[in-house]
Amino acid sequence: MKEKVSQVLDQIRPMLQADGGDVKLVSIDEESGIVTIALQGACAGCPHAQMTLKMGIESKIREEVPEVKEVVAQRL
């Protein structure tokens, strides 16, 4: 599952980098299907980060990797 999720993040990454941000895979709990990521750069402090996370990153990952149930941002 990690390989599949990483491939999807690699597809998404150029769009985030174009806006001065990035995304990093933190962990995957294969049992619960929860993927934890860290938004970096401009994305970390962006007021639209939650929308980017849920409507962009999570939807794309769940589309490509159906065993993923949720994508959450790492708590700092």
Q: Which domain covers residue 50, as residue numbers? A: 2-73
- 63 pLDDT higher than 90: yes
CB-side neighbour CA atoms (13 Å) of 33: 9
CB burial readout 22-59, b (16+ within 10 A) else e: bbeeeebeeeebebbbbbeeebeebeebeebbeebbbe
What's the pLDDT band for 61 if we cut at 50, 70, 90?
very high
Residue 25: CATH number of its domain: 3.30.300.130
Domains in the chain: how many in total?
1
Query: Distance between CA atoms of 65 and 61, rounded to whole angstroms?
Result: 6
Measure CA of the first residue to CA of the last residue in the chain; give whole Å.
25
At residue 13, does pLDDT exceed 90?
yes
The model's confidence at residue 67, banded by pLDDT at 50, 70 and 90, is: very high
pTM (2 d.p.)? 0.89
Contacts of 27 (CB under 8 A, 6+ apart): 35, 36
Examine the pLDDT at 76 and tell me if it is beyond 70.
no
